[in-house]
Amino acid sequence: MKFSRSTGYGLIAAAYIAKNGDPKTAILASSIAKEFDIPLEYLLKILQNLVRANVLRSKRGPRGGFYLAKQPGDINLLEIIEAVDGPANSEIQLPERCDELPYMKHITDACKEAVDKTKNVLVNVKLSAVIKG
């Protein structure tokens, strides 16, 4: 399984917000972008995906920024990853005629099992555990 750069930035941003923010003190996207050398516009798109997935909330105005929508113990890494990159799956992009190969079922079954196990690990890692270091 390969995780995108966007997913990495989403995980970093969520952990940073969990560690440094609270509902009264929202974290500015520009602070995260500067801290980790992430292009601001790119980061804002990622943060909006996390807002839509109910991982983060955003607040406008002079004290605006981003904060967690839930407690860190109620947010798992799979939520963050899927909010940024969409649902993880084991689909192999091959021409349709490859489905007829006698060994293809074994390959797809192995890939599905690997993805399912990975998802199980990620769903059990909470943001609260990540920020404890």
CATH no. for 5-131: 1.10.10.10
Q: What is the pLDDT of residue 96?
A: 76
| Cα 101 off chain centre by | 35
Per-position DSSP letters for 76-98, written without gaps between them: BHHHHHHHHH----------GGG
Those residues whose C-beta lies under 8 Å from the C-beta of residue 29, and which sit 6 or more positions away, are 40, 43, 44, 47, 65, 66
Supply the mean pLDDT for the chain. Answer: 92
Q: What is the pLDDT of residue 9?
A: 98
More confident residue, 128 or 90: 128
Distances (CA, A) of 124 to 24, 41, 53, 68: 28, 31, 18, 18
pTM: 0.89
For residue range 7-57, list pLDDT tens digits in order: 999 999 999 999 998 777 899 999 999 999 999 999 999 999 999 999 999
For residue range 91-118, list pLDDT tens digits in order: 777 777 777 888 888 888 898 999 999 9
Kindly state the tokens that stand for 1.
Answer: 């399984």
